[in-house]
Structure 1
Amino acid sequence: MTHSNAANRLDRLPISKFHKIALVAVSFAYFFEFADINSFATTVPKLIKLWGVTVNQVAYVTSASFVVCSSARSSPAGWPTAGDARTPW
């Protein structure tokens, strides 16, 4: 007798068209995010040499760009709209 749990249930589910589309979408987004990070990683050594910036300054800019970009991407989804039932106007 096998115990029924979530992991066993998920293992028995068939892979559908939705799963394939989701995999392609995530792969597409990951490719461009990876390309962005790699282009910055190859540019930084030249900036350190030409502009004389320190590694700490590069780390600060990198962290700030991740925070700003992730905030900008997620904020519009959370903003209430005029047609939203939760808004008072």
Structure 2
Amino acid sequence: LPDQDFGRNDSIFVNFFGIQTATITGLSRIAGMTKAKIIPAIPTRETDNTVTLRFHPAWDNFPTENVEADTQRMNDFIEERVREHPEQY
């Protein structure tokens, strides 16, 4: 995910909050190998210290043939969720 540098074989640099950031490409690669649908789930810690897990719609057309575009899509999704609840990040 963003801010994870696993070296040249497993990470690429794509945009995250306006900064070219080392990001793991595993989501695209694993989805491609397994033909799995990507259904994003975001945990949110509540004021009572419980965690609510929110599922988002499955991504259509993922992965593509372009691992850089796929990785950027993931970062864009995460960035949108961080903007919704910056205190959670």
TM-score w.r.t. the length of structure 1 is 0.30
Higher-RCO chain (CA-CA 8 Å, sequence separation at least 6): 2
Quick check: which one's helix share is greater? 1
Structure with the greater alpha carbon radius of gyration: 1
Q: Give the number of the structure whose residues are more often strand, by fraction.
A: 2
